[in-house]
Amino acid sequence: MTAALPPSLHETWVPVGSRTEDVSISLLSITAETTVYEHAETPKIGHCDIQPRSLLGIDVDLSPSLSALGKSVEDVMSLAADPAKERFVSLLDEEGITVQDERSVTEFDRGDGIAGRWYVFETTHLVGDARIDTETHLAAWPAGDRFVMAGGTIPLEAPPEDALQVGVEAEAEVGAEIHPTTDRETIAAFVRARVRETVDSVEGLEEVDAAAELDESAID
């Protein structure tokens, strides 16, 4: 199932590609489909498939199913969360995105008492011959017999002018704008939408917002 955008993001974010890969973790065979979205008003920077301002939706199918293994939805976090996170870090590295540090990991409530995890990474994106500081978020939670992840990357500094793939000066100025707080709010909105889409009954998602705001004071 391809990750869906919430209606509030339809006009400004567009899907730019997806990939499917099969991996094995512990007793599980995993098929992960990753969908990448880009901000339509931000010019491309460099040649990474995952741009500094991107949203990422990852649907993970598990075989055998958790129920067949006699596992609950809570069990999947201990079985798959950290290995899936490490695979995500490897995916970033393959795209020329370096993870400098795992700044934080916290739990958030899906809205029904079951916890997911929210990781925040200090990253850098390769743009031309230079690197710019970025920040990458990854939320992960169980959903029935599946495992779902969503997040995104945000730029923390303007790229070199020669790295912008644009031909109009005004567009270059737009591409150089840095809005960490707004970008984090967008990632939180995307994660909230994905949780609602993948969890049968959700009454409140306040913790999702709180997780997205982690360490904001250290960035601004």
**70-85: average pLDDT:** 74
Q: State yes or no: cis peptide before 7, omega within 30 of 0.
A: no
The arithmetic mean of pLDDT across residues 149-154, rounded, is 95
Lowest mean pLDDT among 48-52, 167-171, 212-216: 167-171
The answer as to whether 2 is a domain residue is: no
pLDDT at 209: 54
User: Is pLDDT above 70 for 73?
Assistant: no
192 assigned to some structural domain: yes
> What is the predicted pLDDT for the residue at 204?
46
Cβ contact 108:210 at 8 Å: yes
Pick from 68, 81, 172, 93: nearest CA to 118:
81
Q: What pairing do the DSSP bridges indicate for beta strands 28-39 and 130-143?
A: unpaired
The span from the CA of 50 to the CA of 43, in Å, is 13
pLDDT at 117: 92
**What percent helix, strand, coil does the chain show, rounded to 5?**
30, 40, 30
Number of domains within the chain: 1
- The domain of 11 spans 7-219
Instruction: Read off the pLDDT band of 165 (50, 70, 90).
Output: low
The position carrying tokens 């997780």 is 211
Banded model confidence at residue 20, pLDDT cuts 50, 70, 90: confident
Q: Is residue 36 part of a domain?
A: yes
More confident residue, 4 or 210: 4
Of 183, 212, 208, the C-alpha closest to 194 is: 208
Per-residue b or e along 83-97, where b marks 16 or more CB atoms closer than 10 Å to that residue's CB: ebbebbbebbeebbb
- Do the domain assignments include residue 1? no
pLDDT digits over 25-49, tens only?
667 777 888 999 999 988 888 778 8
- Asked, for residue 47, whether it belongs to a domain, the answer is yes
Does the pLDDT of residue 62 top 90, yes or no?
no
SS3 category, 119: strand
pLDDT reading at 158 higher than 60: yes
